[in-house]
């Protein structure tokens, strides 16, 4: 008789890799993010996501923070106003350039930018231990366990990870509209279980945003939805625009308000380092 499988028989590293292979979307590379840097920074500047994350962090003015996968400084810049120093690590030079321009504009001189990736040797990049290590919506990696080990080893006190809850940040209805299958790939539950298999028992807070998203034009809305796909045909783009129109209304200021069927939701996974 075949023995019954229990939790201890599961290999979460393999399950993560299998789910990554089956996902229906294509991960973006540094060049893609370079092109999107300015627009991404503008859209996230006023996002309620920032406040919802910051209010959950145990910040102190004498702390040092490592923001791994910092992007254009979505968290780095507001964090720099509250702590001693922030190191922003990202593999997109375009994102780091936007971050540096914004920090100079705002007179922040306690931010260090480092051009590098999860796969690089962080010690060779000159990164040292920080009081808090943060990975905010940046764990789209091939080797999750290695990334988690790295974060944990570079944290002196706390680790905070914001990971997506399916289907965030995607819209399954948009995939159906262009006649493409939607397979989410791994989300936060793989991260939680991988940590458990590593002997780390994290806390999880859920961050939920509004279903309604504002864009200043239909082209801006379409560009945001294009980001979910790779190599849309002209016919698919036409169907995508029809889908957006069917789920949106103009507001009094001329903006386009798109009502998503699923609110963007993120799991804030965190733990305190044990002595």
Give the model confidence (pLDDT) of 127-141 as tens digits: 999 999 999 999 988
Task: Please tell me the distance from the alpha carbon of residue 170 to that of residue 181, in angstroms, as a whole number.
Answer: 12
Mean of all residue pLDDT scores within the chain: 91
Domain boundaries, the chain: 7-210+262-272, 212-259
Which of 51, 86, 93, 49 lies closest to 71 in space, CA to CA?
Answer: 93
* pLDDT tops 70 at residue 37: no
Q: Which fold has domain 7-210+262-272?
A: Rossmann fold (3.40.50)
* pLDDT tops 80 at residue 98: yes
Confidence of residue 155 (pLDDT cuts 50, 70, 90): very high
pLDDT digits (tens, 9 = 90+) for 2-35: 778 888 889 998 999 999 998 887 777 787 766 7
| pLDDT (average), residues 114-131 | 96
This prediction has a pTM of 0.92
Task: Please tell me the distance from the alpha carbon of residue 99 to that of residue 106, in angstroms, as a whole number.
Answer: 11
Structure tokens at 224: 């945001």
């Amino acid at each position: 008789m075949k023995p019954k499988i229990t939790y201890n028989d599961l290999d979460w590293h393999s399950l993560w890799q299998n789910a990554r292979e089956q996902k229906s979307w294509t991960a973006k590379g540094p060049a893609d993010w370079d092109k999107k840097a300015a627009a991404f920074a503008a859209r996230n500047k006023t996002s309620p996501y920032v406040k919802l994350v910051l209010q959950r962090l145990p910040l102190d003015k004498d702390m040092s923070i490592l923001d791994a996968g910092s992007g254009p400084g979505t968290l780095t810049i507001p964090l720099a106003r509250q702590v001693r120093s922030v190191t922003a690590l990202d593999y997109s030079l375009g994102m780091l350039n936007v971050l540096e321009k914004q920090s100079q504009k705002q007179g922040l001189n306690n931010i260090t930018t480092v051009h590098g990736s999860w796969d690089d040797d962080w010690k060779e990049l000159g990164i040292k231990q920080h009081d808090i290590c943060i990975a905010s919506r940046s764990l789209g990696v091939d080797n999750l366990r290695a990334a988690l080990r790295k974060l944990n080893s570079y944290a002196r006190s706390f680790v905070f990870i914001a990971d997506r809850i399916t289907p965030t940040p995607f819209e399954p209805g948009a995939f159906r509209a262009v006649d493409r299958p939607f397979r989410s790939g791994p989300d936060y539950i793989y991260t939680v279980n991988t940590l458990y298999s590593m002997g780390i028992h994290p806390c999880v807070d859920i961050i939920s945003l509004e279903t309604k998203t504002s864009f200043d034009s239909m082209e801006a809305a379409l560009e945001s939805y294009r980001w979910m796909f790779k190599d849309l045909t002209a016919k698919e783009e036409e169907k995508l625009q029809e889908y957006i129109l069917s789920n949106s209304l103009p507001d009094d200021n001329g903006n386009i308000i798109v009502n998503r069927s699923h609110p963007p939701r993120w799991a804030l996974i965190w733990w305190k380092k044990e002595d």
